Amino acid sequence: MVDRGASALSLPDDWPAHPDPILALNRMGSFDWDLDSGQFHMDARAHEIFDLRPDEYDGNPASLAVRVPPAEGTRLDELVSQAIKDGSENYGAYFRMRLRDGTLRWTHTQGCIRRDDIGRPRRIVGIVRDATDELSDLAARRDEAALDDARREQTNVVQLTTAALAHARTVQDVIDVLKDTHGLTHLGATSLVMGLVEAGRIRLIAEGPEGSFVPGTLVTRIDEPYPMSEVVRTLTPRFIESPEEFAGGYPVLWPHLTDLKITSAAYLPLIVQARPIGAMGLLYSDRRGFTTEERNILVALGSSIAQSLQRAMFYEQEKDIAQGLQQAMLPRTIPSVPGADVAVRYRAATIGGSLGRDIGGDWYDLIPLPGGRVGAVIGDVQGHDTHAAAVMGQLRIVLRAYAAEGHTPATVMARASVFLHELDTDRFATCLYAEADLSTGVVQVVRAGHIDPLLRSPDGTCRRISVPGGLPLGLSAEFGSLQYPVGTVELDPGHTLLLCTDGLVEKPGADVDDGMRALAAMVAAGPADVRKLADQLIEVAEEQGGDDDVALLLLRRRGPDSPQAGSRLQQHVAPGDPEALTEARHMIRAAVRAWGARDRSDEIELVADEVITNALMHTEGSAIVTLRALTGGERRLRVEVEDSSSALPRRREAGESGVSGRGLLLVDLLTDAWGVEARGGGKCVWCEFVVREDRRREDRRRRT
């Protein structure tokens, strides 16, 4: 302390000051420091505090150096000097002193600086007291406050983690929550390991930090000497508080963890309904030991994690069953279709933005039919659950059965609606059924509350095909409206028909028409190959997410091996229009000769004339005459005459004059095949002729 030295000046009359008895009652000692003389007077209590007997102290402040360590003395001198210099009236400080036995004790001093009339410091009167208990209490309070802060932080992490776990749907979601920066790492853990109990073994599902995997621990037996195995066996947490304890308790595992600098670990059994479903380990690299509060928090957290894992496991099991059911309901393979390229895709729904999948009722199907025809089906059963998948499977089966029986597309749809209505369910379904004759390119489309198909041309343009529709399946039967209009689409070689469910079109807050335009633009910009195009569309659906599943079917009609110009010609013939009938005859004659069927020209013209005349005579509307060159196998020419009457042609006996009654007889005699098929509200009579290449054309080709 500062040694002011002796002074020749006389001491003040009131020096030394007499302490108030209250100081003694508060276990305080007093001092009176005369700055002029340098004398530092202490009362008896102050001597006790400094652990000095009266005969050991001579009133010189320097004599206190035996009790005040040099560093503390320097700090006090600087404090007093600064207070005197800046005109302060008071100062105070805590300092340590060394007692007679060598121990250090905290002491507190306060001084009041007295000055004369001109402001010169003359005396310092103050107190000293033992501050050991005070600072011990303060340190204890600080420690308790720090412990409370840590406890609140840990509790907050537990609450946040528990809240996040409430939204975890899958086991991977649970692991992601725990590994998140706001997860268990805030409890001080360096890494996390976790395993699930399966058939008496523990399968590791979270391996800790990169590079920390221990060979042979991916699947371990419960009786092996590992901490996770131990907590599963005993159903008791295992807290490892030092590296030495880890090495001694688990000598097989410890050598693999030395590079991770692990200092402690907490292994917790994950228990649900008194049964272990797994175990979790938290590894620490900056702490040793666990307080009682920390252990309790970790045990409570383990219980919450176990409940979340159990929910996630149940969800995944249900999802696997549902998806297995749906996959079983969908066709395992799509049959190859001569003359066409087909691609199908299915994407399960993503519910709530999660990576997990949900079951749905969307489906597709491709049905081979007699005569080179094929039926394409796309549909969507209401709902996203196993019941929707089960109804979907039954609908797919009955639609396939009705189509295979040879019913018209409208009848197929009507019967399917009746079936769904009579089924023990309150679900309805939208559906679109397209029956395509790949030899002619004629596609008959029936729509039951479903979105329209799209048609892409070889040049890349894509447009929406507006198809008249009826009520969804189930509802049309309930309301007695089983009439389904049939639309007709011409699928020329190189054209692609796209059928899809609304999950590919509908977006929250967006109009369906806007979605259809966006899809058409996407298809137009996509690759020509149907498989690549299907992959691209599904990838876009994956990126956009959505809470609805998606089914997709693409059917592209392949062109002939040797393309022919004008492989389809068409003429509209109105009743009472002889010029149109003459033009149709000329069209047929010219096309037959141009296509190298000169040998059968007369037969084709005669049959076509007969069928066209019958259509005009026995119906009230016009006729549409189409002539097609068919490829694939033997070459054929096909004549189609379409009218608005649903009445089927029938044979009649020739009259007495012999003028009529021989029409169908001629058709049957001169054609290689003929038949009648429904077209919308009317019918189409078709006739096919097998032709050989014209001999002159063949000779010309050989010469070249």
Q: Which two tokens stand for residue 390?
A: 């089960």
Tell me the pLDDT band of 495, cut-offs 50, 70 and 90.
very high
- As a whole number, mean pLDDT of residues 149-177 equals 77
What pLDDT does 68 receive? Answer: 92
Higher pLDDT, 168 or 362: 362
Is the per-residue pLDDT at 353 higher than 50? no
Helix axes 132-165 and 292-329, enclosed angle (nearest 10) = 10
Query: Which 3-state string (H, E, C) describes 87-115?
Result: CCCEEEEEEEEECCCCCEEEEEEEEEEEE
> Are 169 and 349 spatial neighbours (Cβ–Cβ below 8 Å)?
no
Higher pLDDT, 564 or 491: 491
Is the per-residue pLDDT at 269 higher than 90? yes
What pLDDT does 219 receive? Answer: 86
DSSP string, 322-341: HHHHHHHHS-SSPPP-TTEE
Q: What is the dihedral of CA 420, 424, 429, 432, to 10 degrees?
A: -20
Higher pLDDT, 290 or 156: 290
- Nearest Cα residue to 52 out of 67, 31, 33, 72: 67
- As a whole number, mean pLDDT of residues 195-219 equals 77
| Alpha-carbon distances of 284 from 161, 255, 264, rounded to whole Å | 19, 16, 5
Which helix (H) or strand (E) is 532 found in, with range?
Answer: helix 530-544
Burial environment of residue 93 by CB neighbours within 10 A (0 to 12, 13 to 18, 19 or more)? middle
> Are 392 and 549 spatial neighbours (Cβ–Cβ below 8 Å)?
no
| Alpha-carbon distances of 488 from 324, 433, 453, 558, rounded to whole Å | 36, 12, 12, 19
Q: Which two tokens stand for residue 42?
A: 């202490």
Tell me the pLDDT band of 463, cut-offs 50, 70 and 90.
very high
What pLDDT does 402 receive? Answer: 92
What pLDDT does 208 receive? Answer: 62
How far is it, in rounded angstroms, from Cα 430 to Cα 295? Answer: 57
Residue 55: partners with Cβ closer than 8 Å, 6 or more residues away? none
What pLDDT does 177 receive? Answer: 79
How far is it, in rounded angstroms, from Cα 31 to Cα 16? Answer: 8
> Are 36 and 122 spatial neighbours (Cβ–Cβ below 8 Å)?
yes
What pLDDT does 12 receive? Answer: 64
DSSP code for 20: P
Give residue-wise pLDDT tens across range 294-304: 888 888 888 88
Is the per-residue pLDDT at 449 higher than 90? yes
What pLDDT does 617 receive? Answer: 82
How far is it, in rounded angstroms, from Cα 38 to Cα 36? Answer: 6
What pLDDT does 434 receive? Answer: 95
How far is it, in rounded angstroms, from Cα 42 to Cα 125? Answer: 10
Give residue-wise pLDDT tens across range 119-143: 899 999 999 998 888 877 777 777 7
| Alpha-carbon distances of 338 from 438, 554, 559, 560, rounded to whole Å | 8, 15, 11, 11
- Nearest Cα residue to 537 out of 548, 554, 522: 522
- Residue 497, Cβ neighbours under 10 Å: how many? 23
Question: Considering the chain, what is the average pLDDT of its residues?
Answer: 82
| Alpha-carbon distances of 134 from 5, 28, 107, 140, rounded to whole Å | 34, 13, 10, 10
Q: Among 257-266, 312-321, 363-372, 446-455, whose mean pLDDT is lowest?
A: 312-321
**Rounded CA Rg of the chain:** 48
Give residue-wise pLDDT tens across range 383-421: 877 788 888 889 999 999 999 888 888 899 999 999 999
DSSP code for 18: P
Give residue-wise pLDDT tens across range 484-494: 998 888 888 89
Is the per-residue pLDDT at 192 higher than 90? no
Highest mean pLDDT among 256-270, 413-427, 659-673: 413-427
> Are 450 and 431 spatial neighbours (Cβ–Cβ below 8 Å)?
yes
Beta partners for residue 677, in sequence order: 684
Q: Where are the alpha helices (DSSP H) in 556-648?
A: 578-594, 601-618
Q: How large a percentage of the chain has pLDDT more than 70?
A: 85
> Are 105 and 6 spatial neighbours (Cβ–Cβ below 8 Å)?
no
The answer, as to whether pTM is greater than 0.75, is no
How far is it, in rounded angstroms, from Cα 258 to Cα 256? Answer: 6
- Nearest Cα residue to 469 out of 381, 409, 544: 409
- Compute the C-alpha angle 555/560/565, nearest 5°: 115
Q: What is the dihedral of CA 645, 647, 649, 652, to 10 degrees?
A: -120
Give residue-wise pLDDT tens across range 6-21: 444 566 666 665 555 6
- As a whole number, mean pLDDT of residues 66-92 equals 91
> Are 377 and 427 spatial neighbours (Cβ–Cβ below 8 Å)?
no
Q: How large a percentage of the chain has pLDDT more than 90?
A: 28
Peptide bond into 16 cis (omega under 30): yes
What pLDDT does 415 receive? Answer: 94
Tell me the pLDDT band of 279, cut-offs 50, 70 and 90.
very high
- As a whole number, mean pLDDT of residues 441-446 equals 88
Is the per-residue pLDDT at 541 higher than 50? yes
In this structure, what are the phi and psi dihedrals at residue 98, rounded to the nearest 5 degrees? -100, 120
Q: Among 325-334, 536-545, 648-657, whose mean pLDDT is lowest?
A: 648-657
Which helix (H) or strand (E) is 71 found in, with range?
Answer: helix 70-85
Burial environment of residue 169 by CB neighbours within 10 A (0 to 12, 13 to 18, 19 or more)? buried
Amino acid sitting at position 503: G
How far is it, in rounded angstroms, from Cα 540 to Cα 550? Answer: 11
How far is it, in rounded angstroms, from Cα 466 to Cα 476? Answer: 20
- As a whole number, mean pLDDT of residues 205-228 equals 77
Burial environment of residue 178 by CB neighbours within 10 A (0 to 12, 13 to 18, 19 or more)? buried
Q: Which two tokens stand for residue 637?
A: 């020419």
Q: Is 267 helix (H, G, I), strand (E, B) or coil?
A: strand
Give residue-wise pLDDT tens across range 103-119: 888 899 999 999 988 88
Tell me the pLDDT band of 564, cut-offs 50, 70 and 90.
very low
> Are 53 and 35 spatial neighbours (Cβ–Cβ below 8 Å)?
no
- Nearest Cα residue to 218 out of 200, 197, 195: 195
> Are 184 and 282 spatial neighbours (Cβ–Cβ below 8 Å)?
yes
Q: Among 431-440, 471-480, 633-642, 678-687, whose mean pLDDT is lowest?
A: 678-687
DSSP code for 21: H
Tell me the pLDDT band of 567, cut-offs 50, 70 and 90.
low
Is the per-residue pLDDT at 520 higher than 50? yes
Q: What is the dihedral of CA 238, 240, 244, 248, to 10 degrees?
A: 10
How far is it, in rounded angstroms, from Cα 483 to Cα 636? Answer: 35
Handedness of CA 645, 649, 652, 655 (dihedral sign): positive
In this structure, what are the phi and psi dihedrals at residue 499, rounded to the nearest 5 degrees? -115, 135
How far is it, in rounded angstroms, from Cα 417 to Cα 425? Answer: 12
